[in-house]
Amino acid sequence: MGTWPPEQARVLLDALQSAGLSPKARRTREGISVTVEDAEADEAHRTLVANMDAIAQAARGQQAPRKERNRPSGPQKGGPSGERRMATERLGSLSRPLLILVIGAILALLIAPLRLPIMIFTIAALVYVLGKQVQDGDGNDPGRGR
């Protein structure tokens, strides 16, 4: 029948015994292993299916105390806002401005007569992109889908 958590195994064993079957149970590291004789397997399966609601209710009953624990769900590091951005997130928010800067520098080197307008356009694009990031909040890249 499989390996079950203790609360669910107790409900399953009660249901199998009330159906006139003789289940066997033994404790393992993973939980309680419930088995039946091969001759009783079909009837045990029907009993299991008929009592799935009660078994599921036992599972919900065992999870309720876990939710009441007063333990944080993840690492709580950071400054005043309570969160700390990872290095990859910080680099990700700089990727678009760095890309604009590199492309502008390459174009300015390749097209010598238009060097000054290209650099002015590059600086304007940098100011615009950085302003949008600040406007969107915390420097997140606007195209990333927050």
Could you report the per-residue pLDDT of 120-135, keeping only the tens digit for each? 999 999 999 989 888 8
Domain boundaries, the chain: 2-67, 87-144
CA distance 66 to 99: 47
85 φ/ψ angles, rounded to the nearest 5 degrees: -80, 140
Reported pTM: 0.42
Q: Which residue has the tokens 């309720």?
A: 64
Could you report the per-residue pLDDT of 11-68, keeping only the tens digit for each? 999 999 998 998 999 998 888 999 998 898 899 899 889 988 888 888 787 655 554 5
CATH number of 2-67: 3.30.70
Provide the β-strand partners of residue 143: none
